[in-house]
A and B are shown apart, each in its own frame.
Chain A
Amino acid sequence: MLSCKDATRLLSEAQDRPLTLAEKMQLEIHLAMCRGCRNFKGQIAFLREACKHYIDPAQK
């Protein structure tokens, strides 16, 4: 079973490369059980969103 540390690593890498099927499955199982890592996923998704809006916050 994936640790939180490994889950955050995969969640980060998922923003940069396609995960393998095995990685995705491990991650989904972990996320289903772990609120902290679900929140981590939402937080880094928001980071990317914020960077996209950085140049002009008014342009959405």
Chain B
Amino acid sequence: MFAQVPEFFCLACNNGDLGTTKLPMFPFFAMTEHPKKTKAATEHWMDADFVAALRHDMLRFSRLQLRDPAQAEDAVQDALMAAFAQSSRFSGQVALKTWVFGILKHKIVDQIRVQHRTTNASAMAQEEESLDQTFDTLFKANAHWTPVARPSNWGNPAEALEQAHFWVVFDACLNNLPANTARVFSMREFLELETPEICQELAITPSHCNVILHRARNALRRCLEKKWFTAGEQTC
């Protein structure tokens, strides 16, 4: 039975810098290999480089959302197993990567539910207070922008999306957000949940959710403005 098991997960795990990896459940794979799997999906699964790169990107994404290496690893492993087991459902109409990430998003939401049960409410309040204070310093007493804090024109920011270094900066800015704020932002923007769903999952009110998203967006745009869009500009 073991001889039939694809080796791609092991190859992917040996990629080096990705930390400890749980061994996949080999017999499970052997049993769930599906005869009707599309040729395209099968070819991808057998391509060790493709799977290693996919797994690397999935871990990066998962860690960003969950901020817990072990949970991030679990979500990726669960998603890969589910994706492989369900390969027959892959229609080929979207890229395999997009399809697998769709599965990963569900696994991350599952982990967030687990995390939420252990979230410390006072830690959440504390980090929000600090973001609120920072936000308030951007405005004058009459609640209009201070000259120095006024958002600048980023020109054609879409060009940044093409540049590899932009994504390094973007990651760093996301990681700078306090954990709970980042979680709400991620649920909205990466996992694409609607705000009522987020409120329900995290047991917070809609207005609280709106405030957290507002603070998160403001902190992120300020970080990008500073670290990317005006980085390198000389001040007079």
Contact = CB atoms under 8 A, between A and B. Distances in A.
B28 interface: no
Contacts of A55: 57, 61, 97-98, 101
Interface string A29-59: 0000011110110111011111101111101
Given A49-B158, A55-B97, A44 B221 contact: yes
B161 A49 contact: yes
Interface residues of A, number: 33
B142 A3 contact: yes
A19 B95 CA distance: 35
A4 B217 contact: no
Interface string B25-47: 00000000000000000000000
A57 B160 CA distance: 10
Contacts of B217: 12, 15, 44, 47
Contacts of A36: 145, 150-151
Given A4-B139, A54-B167, 17 more contacts: A4-B143, A8-B218, A9-B210, A12-B217, A16-B188, A16-B195, A16-B213, A17-B210, A39-B153, A43-B151, A49-B158, A50-B170, A56-B95, A56-B98, A57-B161, A57-B162, A57-B167
Could you tell me the dominant secondary structure of chain B's interface residues? helix
23 contacts: A3-B142, A3-B144, A4-B144, A5-B143, A9-B214, A12-B213, A12-B214, A12-B217, A12-B218, A16-B213, A17-B195, A36-B145, A37-B151, A40-B221, A42-B157, A47-B189, A49-B157, A50-B161, A50-B170, A51-B190, A54-B61, A54-B167, A57-B164
Interface string A1-24: 001111011001101110000000
Given A4-B139, A16-B210, A49-B161, A39 B151 contact: yes
Nearest to B207: A13
A5 B139 contact: yes
Nearest to B211: A9
Give the contact-size bracket for chain B.
35 or more
Contacts of B142: 3
B154 interface: yes
A22 B223 CA distance: 32
A47 B220 contact: yes
A56 B227 CA distance: 22
Contacts of B158: 46, 49
B120 interface: no
